[in-house]
Amino acid sequence: MKDLSVGLSKFLSEIWETDVSIRNLDRASAGARRHNLLFNAVTEIDDIPLVATIMPTPDIEDLPMDVEASVLEFARQAGVPAPRLVGVTTNPKYVGGSMFVTHRVFGESIPRKILRLSESQTGLGDRIVRQCGEALAHLHKFPISRIDSRIERPKLDDPAQQAVDDLLEDHSLLPQPSPTITMALSWLSRNKPESPEALSLVHGDLRNGNIAVDDTGLVAIYDWEIAHLGDPMEDLAWLCVRAWRFRQDDKEVGGLADRDTLFEGYHSAGGNIDPIRFRWWRLLRTVWWGIGLAKQAAEHLDGSFRSIIMAASGRRVAELEYDILMLLSGEYSTVEF
């Protein structure tokens, strides 16, 4: 940690062109592959709480750190409460890998604690979800001409086809293919919706787990590492996937509120819902997470990323298979159990 402190001090001193010392450096628990460090940067006149997000190994980066940093700035310009950027570097000389530094946001970010907070205050869950809807509408309607050209864009500007192609490839590489996922991918491929009128920047991982809230509502949206150009319905659908409800299944949006509340927030900020595309992306992202969990287990088993959490993920695939089959049963409407 001492070396990291020296590296952070050097980096901030260079970009702020003043002497910076580091105090209260602490490793946050968030993030399996990237490290989040909490610290205060002290100058002659200031003492500023910051967060450094460090990617030690570039080959597991989804977005290069400097592109992700530009996404943060894009989101803030769009009116989304993303963390405020202080600086970014891809030079490993400071902390041994790429890094960006943001201002620290004070709020609760652990999903079960967010649920407890929302239960303790009438209307808070609805407010958080409505604000998520508003934030997504702002993000999705912001012109993508301003985005970094290195951000991932779907082939032929067809996000649904790209998503199916990616999942077919990922599923084919798994050591143990799932008939449930095979059937779902076949259905998704045959029932692919029209592309949206225009591509948007899609956060890609907005859920209860990547937000910070306090008793006033939503204060930040984190983890922009898989942001990409795509269909805005993907973000709304992912937020409603059952895996993020933490047993509060009757509240579709992260266990916090119902879907209508999310859609009201989205509409109120100028977003348009397409129910057919929403349903399609809800199934696709449920499949995506099922494959994601199976991939985590495979990475543990082949030794490329040993972790008890990743091993346990393999035994969570059945949860997603159940959710997929139930969603599919709604599409094959004559199926009875």
Shortest gap between Cβ of 26 and another protein (angstroms)?
10
Name the amino acid, one letter, at 136: L
Nearer to another protein, 121 or 186 (CB): 186
What span, in angstroms and rounded, lies between the C-alpha atoms of 183 and 194?
21
Shortest gap between Cβ of 70 and another protein (angstroms)?
29
Strand order in the sheet with 21-27: 21-27, 35-42, 47-55, 98-103, 85-89
Name the amino acid, one letter, at 76: R
Shortest gap between Cβ of 23 and another protein (angstroms)?
20
Nearer to another protein, 138 or 245 (CB): 245
Task: Write the DSSP assignment of 156-217 as a string of letters.
Answer: GG-HHHHHHHHHHHHHHTSSS--HHHHHHHHHHHHTPPPPPSS-EEE-S--STTSEEEETTE
CA nearest neighbour of 295 among 181, 155, 186, 204:
181
Shortest gap between Cβ of 146 and another protein (angstroms)?
34
Nearer to another protein, 139 or 298 (CB): 298
Q: Residue for token digits 């495979």? A: 298
Shortest gap between Cβ of 331 and another protein (angstroms)?
9
Nearer to another protein, 149 or 334 (CB): 334
CA nearest neighbour of 221 among 119, 88, 76, 77:
76
Shortest gap between Cβ of 290 and another protein (angstroms)?
11
Decide: helix, strand or coil at residue 291: helix
Nearer to another protein, 6 or 318 (CB): 318
List interacting residues with another protein (CB under 8 A). 29, 176-180, 182-183, 186-187, 190, 240, 242, 249-250, 252, 259, 275, 279, 308-309, 311-312, 315-316, 318-319, 321-323, 325-330, 332, 334-335, 337
Shortest gap between Cβ of 309 and another protein (angstroms)?
6
Shortest gap between Cβ of 104 and another protein (angstroms)?
18
Length of the chain: 337
Nearer to another protein, 228 or 245 (CB): 245
What span, in angstroms and rounded, lies between the C-alpha atoms of 177 and 304?
20
Nearer to another protein, 132 or 293 (CB): 293
- Each as own residue / partner, the long-range contacts of residues 242-246 (CB below 8 Å, 24 or more positions apart, any chain) are 242/286, 242/323, 243/286, 243/289, 243/319, 243/320, 243/323, 244/111, 244/207, 244/208, 244/209, 245/208, 246/111, 246/112, 246/115, 246/208
Nearer to another protein, 29 or 145 (CB): 29
